[in-house]
Amino acid sequence: MKKHCEFPDLRVDLDNAITYGTLKSAAAIAKDGLRQAQSKGFPAEAEYFLAQQDIIKKRFTSAIEHLDKAIKGNPLDGAAYNDRALCMVELGIIDEAIGYFDKGIAAEPDYATVYHNKGWLLNNIGRHSEAIEYFRKALELEPKRPVTYDNLADALYNLGDSRGALMAYKKVLSLLKPRSCPGIRKEIAGKIQLLERELSS
């Protein structure tokens, strides 16, 4: 059975860099991943990192072409399906994107990110209750994932559960590393203050 990917640590670092907005760092990681994949003879992995370079530059159609090659080379790569779905969302292809998230879940059912991102999309198209199910599944697999608590809080708030949203936002702050992501910390702290005022009035 094929491995899901050859460089899991690099992929985690890349995902974190993209998630928290350090695109210069993300570009460097993608370049390093591509170099390693090419030098070690992993063509599917090289296609994955070529796609990441395109995603960073917002070349989503080209990224999809690389991701299709990555999937063909390694059909168990849940991240490739996930990222293809995200590119489709950027291009406005929503229904098919949901199907690609599902393919990612089928290919790699222990990959938390694909559940998180399907939840993110469902929340953004108004399917908040379904979104919460996927966020909870992502947190079962990766309980210390601040970005998922952030999105869970948003979905709970959308359903009118201000208390649940408040608890989830507080969890985000408790999980972020000290002195990391000051902009995100400030934004979450502001949401907490608003919810505490709302709940005390």
Measured distance CA(123)–CA(16) in Å, rounded: 21
Q: Cβ contacts of residue 166 below 8 Å, gap of 6+?
A: 153, 192, 195, 196, 199
Beta strand spans in 75-180 (E):
none
**Superfamily in which the 1-109 domain is placed by CATH:** Tetratricopeptide repeat domain (1.25.40.10)
- Write the CB contacts of 144 (distance below 8 Å, at least 6 apart in sequence): 175
**CA angle, residues 57, 9, 148, in degrees to nearest 5:** 70
Fold topology of 110-201: 1.25.40
pLDDT per residue of the chain (201 residues) written in tens, 0 to 9: 345 677 888 988 898 888 776 789 999 999 999 999 999 999 999 999 999 999 999 999 999 999 999 999 999 999 999 999 999 999 999 999 999 999 999 999 999 999 999 999 999 999 999 999 999 999 999 999 999 999 999 999 999 999 999 999 999 999 998 887 888 899 999 999 999 999 998
pLDDT at position 3 is 54
Q: Where in the chain is the domain with CATH 1.25.40.10?
A: 1-109, 110-201
Q: For residue 26, what pLDDT is reported?
A: 92
